[in-house]
Each structure stands twice: as C-alpha cells, then as structure tokens.
Amino acid sequence: MHTLLPRIPVVALVGLSLWVGSLSIAYSQQQAVENSTDKNRAVPNELASKVGSAIHWESDYSAALAKAKQSGKPIFWYVPSIPGTFMDRKEEVDRYMLAGPFSWPTIINLINQNCVPLRTIPNRSLQKQFELQVYKFVEPGFLIVQPTEEVTLLANRLSTLHPPLIMELLQKALGPDLDLGDEASEFRGSVSSKALNDAIAANWQLEAEPLKQILMSDSMESKLVAGMCVFKMGRHEEAREIWQKASIAHPNHPLAWKAACEAQGIGPFYRGLEVFETLPETATLVSDLKKITSAADPKAYSEDQLWDRSVNFLLGMQHANGGFFDSDYDFGGTDSLKNVHVAVTSLVGLALIEAEPKLASPEQKARIQKALDRASAFVTKDSNLNLFDRDEILWAQAYRIRFLSSRIISSDESAKSDNSEGSLANSLQRAVQQLEGLQLKTGGWYHEYANAFVSATALTALYDAKDAGAKVDSSKIDRGLQRLASQRYSNGAYPYATRRESGRNEGTEKDLAGAGGRIAICELARHRWGQVSDQDFALAVEKSMKYHELLAKALKYDNHTSTYAYGGFFFWYDMQARSESIALIADVNKQRELAKQQRDLILGLPEVDGCFIDSHELGRCYGTAMALLSLKALE
C-alpha cells in the first residue's frame, strides 16, 4: 500500500523520535514538579530575622527566676511552643508574635522596664508546674510569673493579634505604676500614633493627600502605617515596596524589622492576623486574667455587627487581581497553594454574595460588587490553578463551582443560558467537566488521598452546578454516590481514609466519635441527591452535634489533634457542612432546636475584632467566610 507521506530519512526519524521523547520527559518532569509535596517555606531576610530582638530575652527559666527574685520584677514568659505539640507551623506562629506585639516600641519598653523577659520552651517539669500541656495550652501564648512563681496572667490561642489590647492587658496585669522607659529612647513609640489613629478612623481608605503626608514623614511608624493603608486598598505589591524601602531606611528600628517581614509577605499584618480596629468595651473586658485568648467575649457583638466587621475585613484583604492570599496551607506541598488560594477566594466570594443584601451602606454594597467581579475573574482563569496538583485541586474546583453557581443563581435568568466565551455559565461548565475528570475509577474523589468527605464535597458542588443550569454527567453522580455509601458504617460513621468494602461494616463508638465532623458533609451529599430519608438525615446531624467537643478541641491548632483525626483546619469545614445540613432538616421542631444550638456555638466564636479563624495556616479569610456562610445557612 502506497503512502501519501513523503519519505523521511532515518536520521531525521531518529531525531524526531528523540525530540518527541525529550518533550515527553520534560512534560512528565513538569507534572512531577507541579505535583510535589515539598514545602518551600519563606526564610526571613537579614532584617526580618531580627524581629522581637529588641526585647531583652532570657533563655533559661532558672536564670530568669533568679533575676526576678533579685529585682522584685515578675517574669514575662513568652512560650513560642511546648514539647510534644504536633503544631506544624511553629516557626511561623512564633514569627507572628515577634513581628506583631513584640515589635511595637511601647510594648517592648513596657516589658523590658517592668519585667524579666523570658523566651523559652518549657521542659517537662515546667510543663507540669504551669500546666503547659499539649492541647490545654495552644501556642502562641505568654505568662506573667511573679517572683513567688504565682501566675497572674496566662494567655494562649492568640490567633488574632491586637497590639493595643495586649498593651491594655499587660497594664492591667502589671498594675498602674508602670515604667515605660526613657522618653528620649530611640525605640520610644506607640501602638496608637496619630498616623495609625487617622488610618483606623478612615477605615484605612485615606485620601491621596493625607496618605502622601504620612509617606513623607521621617517616622518609621508612619511609613509602616502608610504601607498598611495601601495594603488595605488592595495595592499589595505597592505596600510591600513601601515596607521594604522603610526597613532599609531605618535598619536599627524594631518596626523596620517588622516592616521587612511584612514586605516578604510573612508578617502578621500581611497575613491578616494583626488588626488594630477600634474594639467595643465588651470585647476588651477580661474577668479572669488566667484564661485569656484572642476570642471576644460572647456578648461583644450582635450578629449584624459580626457581618459588618467580617465583611469589612474580607474586603480589605483582597488583592488587585481578585484573589485572597493570606492562607499558606501547604500540607499538599508549596505547589498546591495556587489551588488553596482559588478555593479560599471562592469561599470568600460565596460569603460576600450572602452579605450584600444584608448590609445597608451603599458604599459597602458597591465595594462588595466590585470585589465579586474581581473574585469571579480570578477563579475562572485556569492559569491561577495548578491543574497537575493532586493534593488540593479538588477544593479549588469544588468551591469555585459553588461560587460560580451561586453567582448565576443570584443573577437574572439570562445568566443560566449565556454560554458565550468568558460567561459565568461557560466557566462553570468547564469547571464541572474538570471536577468530573478528577473522579477515580472507584467512583470517589481525592484530596492528598481518596476519602469519603472529599467525595461528598465534590457531589455537593455538582448538585449546585446542576441547580445553576450546568450539564452534569449522571453516571458519574451515580458512581460517586455508590462509592460514598460503600464507605459508610452501619452506625452512620465515615472513616477518615478509604476503607475496604469487604471489611467490618458495623462501626464502633470510636468510629462514630471520630466521624462527628465528617458525618454532616457526607450525609449532606447523599441527602441532596435523594439517597437518605429525612429521618435518617436528621439523626446524622444530631450525631454530628453530639461529638462537637472533640472538634472544638482542634480549634486554632495547626495540625491533627488526636487519633480522631480532627485538626484546626477541619473546624469550619465541618461547622459549615453541619449548618447547611441543619437548614435541610424536614422536621421543623428538630430543625429549630439544632439551628439554635449551632447558632449559639458560632456566636461564641468570634475573635476580638468580630472575625473568625480556625488555624493560622488556613487564615482568617477562610475562617471568616466559612463562619458567615454557616450563619447564613441557619437563617
């Protein structure tokens, strides 16, 4: 048989073969690199590495105690970590404190002049003496220990850093007769300068001329504040340049070291963990100085105030390209962070959709609409994802589907039928196909590994997509539901990882306790696709509520906390699924009962500034968005 192709010399064929082979190798190498689990975390530069060093730290408890007895001053003991902790981000959490409250001159002077500063990890003996046990004391935190070794202040779980509040607490604990140091000291400063007060009063949205005046100031603090204002306006790269220049111009100032951290994107302000907003008196009242956390008093805020303050925080954290980047959740490797950021941006977008009709201010509504348009543009670009990643890609696809579906449903009817290039419906359909393409041969989906709760997340997202008019492959839904049902124990529990279908099926009490958080999302997926009776669904939600304390133990913990496989990063994920499930319970009385319990739990969880968090590495944007979505579901 004759071919129409021209004859190609053998040498050329060999060359072509080698070229194609090299492309194949390069492509596979690219996939390997982009699906790595390596954690390439930021290393502070020379100036940033000095944060916190202006405090005259002792490093040995016995030496600090001897100085305390000699001077009569109490020990200010900063505990960066404790032995036996599984916290993954010890260095990062430590840096947030050093570049946060321990960088502000007034706090530095207060501690240096009135205390014996100590920064050390307790040994076993000190752990027992001061009850610094794993899970009981969650880093970061600090104590004030009198020369008699009596503890007069103990703070831990400090996930939201508010320097003025910390200053207030120290003043309250140390008494009125405080020595704040030499007025002429080079490091003399304040956490409430005029520049900072003006910025807070303007909600960080300073006009061009006042901002220019702050930038022209020779004060290191003013330049730091100018960068903060620019950051809150969404001009993050410009803010980093301001901080970088300021740190170089004032290399011996503690706030310059802080600015260097912020310029690298590793400081507490850049990460959304350091705030300065004016707090109501109820948020600052502390009756027991030995039980301080960064949580607000349960009576500090009304639900309307929580929505207002949380939305304001979220709007100030959005980058110019529409994304939210405060999370550095890299359990799936640094290359998975792109997908984490798309997932978080989608969740914030979902929360802002729900917030827009609740907020009365026209200015706030206008800001929300602009934020939603930017977020939509960000999450619909596949270039903002790592499609080769197999660790966090599921969350990016599932949550952007839910966000785009919600935007379409909340728009007019034409949004469903507009399939033009770049439309929301077109982008949604593409994301649906990509999520369906992630399904394994078993019928399940994966996140780092295959498991039931991830499959449930995918199925829930696909249900939303169908509601919004997207075409969903029913065969994939059927296979997914079959796989999800096969993972369910007969007592209603779901395993953390995939179990063999041929193994035991009854489930133990421990299985049920460990699945308390996962039950809601798994049964939610089955219920939405008509696989669970109303009665069994309500019972599943009750089981989830029954084991809430095990989940609550993980709050603000940056890793798994126990053999039950809970972790800080599961807290709001489980809470949001439970809230969404409660809203679908058919029995009105049971629904109202569980909704009240769940709502009361949520209203007891705001941070001092009225926002929310579950772990440092997932960030406050994620926690705040999930909390708002949980509250909305319960309405």
Q: What angle do CA 340, 631, 572 make, to 5 degrees?
A: 35
Q: Looking at 146-189, which runs of residues are DSSP E strands?
A: 151-155
Confidence band of 460 (pLDDT split at 50, 70, 90): very high
Total Cβ atoms within 10 A of residue 191: 20
| Residue 12: pLDDT over 70 | no
Question: Is 302 a residue whose pLDDT tops 50?
Answer: yes
Distance CA 369, CA 349 (A): 10
Q: How far is 535 from 273, CA to CA, in rounded Å?
A: 42
Query: What three-state secondary structure class fits 260?
Result: helix
Indicate the average pLDDT of the chain.
Answer: 89
Are 467 and 504 part of one and the same domain? yes
160 class by beta-carbon count within 10 Å (0-12 exposed, 13-18 middle, 19+ buried): buried
**Range of lowest pLDDT (212-221, 307-316, 349-358, 455-464):** 212-221
> Is residue 407 located within the same domain as residue 549?
yes
**Residue 406 neighbours by CB distance under 10 Å:** 19
Give the pTM: 0.91
pLDDT digits (tens, 9 = 90+) for 434-446: 999 999 999 999 9
Instruction: Please state, in angstroms and rounded to a whole number, the distance separating the CA atoms of residues 489 and 187.
Output: 62
**CB atoms near residue 188 (< 10 Å):** 14
Tokens for 458, please give them. Answer: 């995918």
Maximum CA extent, the chain = 103
And the tokens for 127? 């752990």
133: domain CATH number is 3.40.30.10
Mean pLDDT on 489-516: 84
Is 68 in the same domain as 149?
yes
**Is residue 137 domain-shared with residue 269, that is, in the same domain?**
no
Same-domain check for residues 533 and 422:
yes
Is 19 contained in some domain?
A: no
Burial of residue 490 (number of CB atoms within 10 Å: 0-12, 13-18, 19+): exposed
Mark residue 507 as left, alpha or beta (left: phi above 0; alpha: psi -120 to 50; beta: remaining): left
Is residue 117 classed as helix, strand or coil in its secondary structure? Answer: strand
Say yes or no: 126 and 71 in one domain. yes
pLDDT in tens, 544-593: 999 999 888 888 888 887 767 688 889 999 999 999 999 999 999 999 99
- Are 462 and 554 within one domain? yes
Rounded to whole angstroms, the Cα distance separating 394 from 399 reads 8
Q: How many domains does the chain have?
A: 3
Is 27 part of any domain? no
264 and 307 in a single domain? The answer is: no
| CA count, 13 A, side-chain hemisphere, 494 | 28
Nearest-angstrom CA–CA distance, 554 and 322: 31
CA distance 393 to 386: 7
In the numeric block, the tokens 């005259």 are attached to 56
Last residue of a domain, one of 225, 240, 273: 273
pLDDT surpassing 90 at residue 190? no
What is the pLDDT, as a whole number, of residue 245?
Answer: 96
Residue 130 lies in a domain: yes
Per-residue pLDDT band at 422 (split at 50, 70, 90): confident
CATH code at 612? 1.50.10.20
**Domain-located, residue 182:** no
What is the pLDDT averaged over residues 84-112? Answer: 93
The conformation of residue 6, written as its DSSP 8-state character, comes to P
**Which residue's structure tokens are 């958080």?**
517
264 and 304 assigned to the same domain: no
pLDDT class for 178, splitting at 50, 70, 90? confident
The answer to whether residue 188 is domain-embedded is no
Q: Say how far apart CA 125 and CA 135 lie, in whole Å.
A: 17
In terms of domains, do 321 and 354 share one?
yes
Which pLDDT belongs to residue 433?
98
How is residue 497 annotated by DSSP? S
Residue 257 near residue 53, CB atoms below 8 Å = yes
For residue 157, being part of any structural domain is answered with yes
- Tell me the pLDDT band of 22, cut-offs 50, 70 and 90: very low
What pLDDT, in 10s, does the model give residues 375-405?
999 999 999 999 999 999 999 999 999 999 9
129 is in which domain, residue-wise?
48-174
324 in a domain, yes or no?
yes
Q: Give the model's pLDDT for residue 286.
A: 61
Question: Where does 115-162 have alpha helices with state H?
Answer: 124-130
493 inside domain:
yes
Q: Verify that 363 and 411 share a domain, yes or no.
A: yes
Q: Which two tokens stand for residue 299?
A: 């009576």
Q: Which of 144, 174, 204 is the last residue of a domain?
A: 174
Same domain for 473 and 438: yes
